[in-house]
Amino acid sequence: MHTYLKLLTTMAFWGGTFVAGRQLAGVVPPLHAAFLRFAIAGVILLIVLHRVEGRLPSLDRYQWGSVTLLGLTGVLGYNVAFFTGLQTVSAGRAGLIIALNPVGIALLSALFGGEPLRMVRTLGIVISVAGAMLVISNGQLSLLTSGIGTGELTLLGCVLCWALYSVIGRRTMRGLSPLTTVTYSALVGALLLTPLALTQGGLTKALRYGPEAWASLLYLAVFGTVVGFLWYYQAIQEFGAVRSGVFINFVPLFAVLFGFLLLGESVAPSLLQGGALVIAGAWITNNNGLWRKSTINQARPES
């Protein structure tokens, strides 16, 4: 039960990242926010890794290539899209769009990971996509052909980046621990973000950020990245990736709740309706494997 509580708390932390990112909009340039988040998190993770494993693991050429790809997708690509999208999209809407992550992972796994899409999983994907379209169009589906905002399209890039990060990460972690993989990919991502962040002005601008901006940045680094990732991987070690991954569907619920409570964002009917479809579809997609396993176990005679 203790691990379940930590896992649910992690989802709350991740839901809060949308509020923190939204509060940085217009105050901290998107690329600065992404760089500072992972620079801070990378240093903390490096310290934790050294304390947990007693050393800093050495990587071979293949592993360095893998963590570089992870840095490009899950850190650089995802966070550039995340902070850019949040410049114009509310925290609640953004959280529901990002709820397509499990669907993106399922699609890429089917294409490149050797996990075929079965009927139930396909149904879940269709339901989630329909919900996302309802959220993105704000209940006006005609907007899908006449002009979706760039913020919504940018956030869909997060889904692609996280799906790639997950599929590549699955292979990478065959030879590296989750903590090592996360630490090195965060550091590589921070290095890749550095020149891009400089295009939005010198990083010395960070010295002029106010207390609220720094509080949001520290929240993103400490709770959204370090604590969240570590607790999530602890759950994976105990329950497995599928059972733990189901909890990701709680993230948009927390994002909408925190956006309403902390930012005063309105909760439109289309947001609730689309959110329900996204979460239901993602739940079906994520649980298909569990249902099949349960059916097999029930059909298997006792020895």
Q: What is the pLDDT of residue 174?
A: 80
Residue range of the domain that includes 263? 2-299
Q: How do residues 278-296 score in pLDDT, each as one tens digit?
A: 788 777 766 655 445 544 4
Instruction: Report the chain (303 residues): mean pLDDT per 10 consecutive residues.
Output: 83 89 86 92 93 88 93 91 84 74 77 70 77 69 60 87 83 84 93 90 83 94 90 73 67 78 76 79 65 47 45
b vs e for 176-195, b when ≥16 Cβ sit within 10 Å of the residue's Cβ? bebbbbbbbbbbbbbbbbee
CB of 33 within 8 A of CB of 83? yes
Q: How do residues 229-274 score in pLDDT, each as one tens digit?
A: 788 777 766 776 656 666 777 787 787 778 778 877 777 777 778 7
**Alpha-carbon distances of 152 from 90, 94, 131, 138, 223, rounded to whole Å:** 10, 8, 14, 11, 25
Q: What is the pLDDT of residue 302?
A: 45
Cα 49-50-56 angle, rounded to 5 deg: 95
Q: What is the pLDDT of residue 7?
A: 85
CB of 244 within 8 A of CB of 7? yes
Q: What is the pLDDT of residue 219?
A: 96
Total domains in the chain come to 1
